[in-house]
């Protein structure tokens, strides 16, 4: 199993546990499809920090628009 798949699975678990959302595709939009607002983005940032052990910058999170871009971001930070 490659590390990107592991990160993808871990992110799906984080989002499922934190927000109760189950189905995500690479193209899933955090705002359009999952209806994330500013507070949700902050909560997601904190959950990612806890799960993956690195600090998420607000300005970096603002650039993330899809689930795949979130996977790519975490993969590149790790």
- Helix boundaries (H) for 1-78: 3-19, 38-52, 58-61, 67-77
Q: In this structure, what CATH number is given to the domain that contains residue 63?
A: 1.10.1200.10
pLDDT tens for residues 36-74?
A: 999 999 999 999 999 999 999 999 999 999 999 999 999
Phi and psi torsions of 19, nearest 5°: -120, -5
Confidence of residue 2 (pLDDT cuts 50, 70, 90): low
Confidence of residue 5 (pLDDT cuts 50, 70, 90): confident
Task: Report pTM.
Answer: 0.89
Structure-token pair, residue 35: 């209806």
What's the alpha-carbon Rg for the chain, to the nearest Å?
Answer: 11
Task: Report the chain's mean pLDDT, rounded to a whole number.
Answer: 92
- What is the tally of structural domains in the chain? 1
- What range defines the domain where residue 61 resides? 3-77
């Amino acid at each position: 199993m490659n590390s990107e798949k592991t990160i993808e699975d871990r992110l799906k678990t984080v989002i499922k546990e934190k927000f109760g959302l189950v189905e995500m595709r690479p193209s899933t939009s955090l705002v359009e499809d999952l209806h994330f607002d500013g507070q949700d983005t902050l909560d997601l940032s904190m959950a990612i920090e806890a799960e993956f052990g690195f600090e998420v910058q607000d300005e970096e999170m603002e650039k993330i628009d899809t689930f795949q871009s979130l996977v790519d971001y975490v993969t590149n930070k790790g």
